[in-house]
Copies of this chain bind each other. A is one copy, B any other.
Amino acid sequence: MEREASELFEEFKELTASEFFRRNKQMLGFSGKIRSLTMVFHELITNSFDAAEEAGIQPEISIDLKRVDKDHYILKHKDNGPGIPENYITKVYCTMFAGSKFRNIQSRGQQGLGCSGCVLLSQMTTGKPARVISGYKKGDEIKGVEMTFKMDVKTNKGLILNKKKVDVDSTGVAIELQFKDVSYSLSEQGAFEYIRRSMIANPHAKVTFRDPTGQLFIFHRATEIIPPLPKEVLPHPKGVTADDLIFMAKHTDKRRFRSLLTSSLSRMSTKRVNEIEEITKIDLNKRPKDMKWEEAEQIVELFAQMDFMAPPTSGLIPIGKEQIEKGIREILNPEFVATTTRKPKTYRGGVSFIIEAGIAYGGNSGRVVGDQKRSEIMRFANRVPLSFDQGSCALTEALKSIDWKRYGIRDIENTPITVFVNIVSTNVPYLSTGKQSVAPEDEILHEVRQATMKIARSLQKYLNAKRAAKEEEMRSKIFETYVPVILKEAAILSGRDVPEYEYILAKVTRRPKILDEIDKETLQELTNDDMVGDKDDE
């Protein structure tokens, strides 16, 4: 019984993004009760940080999580950012693929899915509307608006239920959402650990968190310095594809291709454009829309052969080694900490990134398993903690590949160490939608290794110095104890009297340490020989 095409295509329809993700919420990271709640915290916190920083405000967030019933929570999240103008509120919270961060700029979020995803999850699990109070400046005035709304997934738009003007003291957004089928946990993947790690990477922020038991945690600022705002960076010639050029050409308002090139790409001077024209024989004065694919391909191939300055790094704002140290000291209170921020590098030819790393030893470093301390890895991308998919992540892979024994750490698993790694980039190469693990680009692996090995050397020095101090103390004691008894015994052996030995004792006790080192080597050699001799079969 064959059916014809027109009949079959009667059922053909189009979905909105909201409908699509309603059917596929796991693609937003909402899978599992614990992970779902952590993802909500993540989306709201990063959005607040980004908004405040973009507005030049020191971020301050207060979060209140109330438990209504098993797996049912009310979340109140309030920030001190610039707020959202009234007519953008439902766009931010109800329209998927909408956002202000689609430029080539370093920011925590980037996909225009975060906030609307939280509203979708809330609505799907509880049917409750979202409530938002936004305070924002208009001229010198601070306006306030309160709104309750739902998401209309059929249209990918908001549906305002209620709206009124309110008086607010300051700018910022407060949102209240309800969730079911989520769960608050203290585990490594849970919401609390997410906040704690966020604070290490964002020592300039303040967060107040009231947990479901009513306990209040205040994470203070470790520094008053607001990180500079990352600048939008034009793509680097080595990082664009022919498709990118064609895409730019299609959507530009420039009249000539040459001016499109200089204005849309970094490191692209008129001199370079002339060179390109000369080599490719392509008329770059033509209108961008007339650029053919083959020509774009030709230009991109030429890019690969030309020498350009590395991409500008003004777009990359690392946390900075001092700030990381402050964050670590504030949260982990370690015995020793070393941090480093590497110089910018590029991967895949043109995407610049910076690796920062920190090692904390002792204090509250490491994680507690039973009554033992184990080492732990804290991964971050643009200051955002990566809580999941540790196994497949390039940052983990790079750290695991380090031979820690070379740095005097015999059993890294069972050492109270926290290793912190942050990758800063306008374009972090995530492995999947969940944005929880970084792709193993060679240059990234290399940089993480280099950064960590550098600070591991500092840790080694610290541990060595600590050991040396202890040894020096024992050294004198050994001579004072052993010399008299040995000479007494030698006297018995020779059948003579014990001679005066004050001079000898003083001589060996005061012996400069450097000599010992040399002798140690001699002895080492001897001992090694002995060992080999012992193992040597007859």
Interface with B: A11-19, A475-483, A515-523, which one?
A11-19
Q: Are B123 and A4 in contact (CB under 8 A)?
A: no
Residues of chain B within 8 A (CB-CB) of A95 are 14
A57 CB contacts on chain B under 8 angstroms: 2
Instruction: Contact check, A5 vs B97: say whether CB atoms are below 8 A apart.
Output: no
State which of B17, B27, B138 has its C-beta within 8 Å of the C-beta of A4.
Answer: B138
Q: Which residues of B contact A234 (CB under 8 A)?
A: none
**From A2, which residue of chain B is reached at the shortest CB distance?**
B56
- Contact of B251 with A4 in the complex, beta carbons under 8 Å: no
Nearest CB on B from A46, distance (A):
16
Give Cα distance in the complex from A127 to B501, angstroms.
91
Q: State how many angstroms separate the Cβ of A443 from the closest Cβ of chain B.
A: 18
Stretch touching chain B among A84-92, A268-276, A313-321, A458-466: A84-92
Task: Quote the shortest CB–CB distance from A53 to chain B (angstroms).
Answer: 10
- Interface 1/0s, chain A 390-434, versus B by CB < 8 A? 000000000000000000000000000000000000000011110
Give the CA-CA distance A20 to B21 in the complex, in Å: 13
Rounded to whole Å, the gap between the CB of A89 and the closest CB of chain B is: 10
Residue among B127, B243, B293 making CB contact with A297, cutoff 8 Å:
B127
A5 near B293 with CB under 8 A, answer no
A154 and B249 CA atoms in complex are apart in Å by 13
A111 at interface, CB cutoff 8 A: yes
Given contacts A5-B136, A243-B127, A14 and B153 within 8 Å (CB-CB): no
Is A265 close to B, CB under 8 A? Answer: no
Interface code A73-105, partner B: CB below 8 Å = 1, 0 otherwise? 000000000111100100110010111101100
* A111 with B4: CB separation less than 8 A: no
Contact with B along A374-395 (1 / 0, CB 8 A): 0000000000000000000000
> Given A3-B56, A17-B97, A55-B3, do A12 and B293 touch, yes or no (CB 8 Å)?
no
A485 at the interface (CB under 8 A from B): no
Within residues 43 to 88 of chain A, which ones have a CB less than 8 A from any CB in chain B?
Answer: 51, 54-57, 82-85, 88
Tell me if A372 counts as interface (CB < 8 A to partner B): no
Q: CB of A246 within 8 A of chain B?
A: yes
By a CB distance below 8 angstroms, the chain B residues around A85 are 5-6, 9
For A504, what are the chain B residues with a Cβ–Cβ distance below 8 Å?
none
Chain A 112-152 per-residue mask, 1 if CB under 8 angstroms from chain B, else 0: 10000000000111111000000011100000000000000
Asked whether A1 is an interface residue with its Cβ less than 8 Å from the other chain, the reply is yes
Whole-angstrom CA separation of A171 from B126 in the bound complex: 48
Complex CA distance for A376 and B339, rounded to whole angstroms:
47
Which residues of chain B are within 8 angstroms of A97 by Cβ–Cβ distance?
14-17, 19-20
- A11: contacting residue among B13, B100, B171, B243, CB under 8 A: B100
Q: Is A527 an interface residue (CB 8 A)?
A: no
Does any Cβ of B come within 8 Å of A217's Cβ?
A: no
A263 at the binding interface (Cβ < 8 Å): no
Cα–Cα distance between A8 and B85 once the two chains are bound (Å): 10
Q: Judging by beta carbons under 8 Å apart, are A98 and B138 in contact?
A: no
- For A285, the chain B residues whose CB sits under 8 A away are none
B2 touches A293 (CB 8 A): no
Which residue of chain B is the closest to A83 with respect to CB atoms?
Answer: B5
Shortest Cβ gap from A11 to chain B (Å):
5
Instruction: Confirm or deny: A247 has a beta carbon within 8 angstroms of a beta carbon on chain B.
Output: yes
Q: Flag whether A24 is at the interface (Cβ < 8 A).
A: yes
CB-defined contacts of A103 to chain B, threshold 8 Å: 11
Q: Is A260 an interface residue (CB 8 A)?
A: no
Q: Are A98 and B15 in contact (CB under 8 A)?
A: yes
Q: Which of A420-478 contact B (CB under 8 A)?
A: 430-433
A125 to B293, CA, bound (A): 10
B243 touches A82 (CB 8 A): no
A241 interface contact, C-beta 8 A: yes
> Are B27 and A154 in contact, CB atoms less than 8 angstroms apart?
no
List chain B residues, Cβ under 8 A from A124. 241, 243
Min distance, Cβ A147 to any Cβ of chain B, angstroms: 15
Contact B13 A100 (CB under 8 A): yes
Q: Is there an interface contact between A153 and B247, defined as CB atoms closer than 8 Å?
A: yes
Bound Cα distance from A111 to B19, whole angstroms: 11
Are B27 and A82 in contact, CB atoms less than 8 angstroms apart? no
If A3-B55, A293-B126 touch, whether A99 touches B12 (CB-CB below 8 Å) is yes
Residue A242, interface by CB 8 Å: yes
A524 within 8 A of B: no
Task: Determine which of B4, B12, B123, B154 lies in contact with A55 in the assembled complex, contact meaning CB atoms within 8 Å.
Answer: B4
Would you call B82 and A8 a contact (CB within 8 A)? yes
Check A171/B112 contact, CB under 8 A, given A14-B97, A17-B17, A153-B247.
no
Q: Which 9 A-B pairs rank lowest in CB-CB distance, beginning with the nearest?
A: A127-B293, A5-B136, A4-B137, A15-B97, A5-B82, A124-B243, A2-B56, A14-B98, A12-B100
Q: Could you write out 18 A-B pairs with CB less than 8 Å apart? A: A3-B54, A4-B55, A4-B137, A5-B55, A5-B84, A8-B51, A8-B82, A9-B100, A11-B103, A12-B88, A14-B91, A15-B98, A22-B247, A24-B111, A27-B27, A125-B243, A127-B243, A153-B247
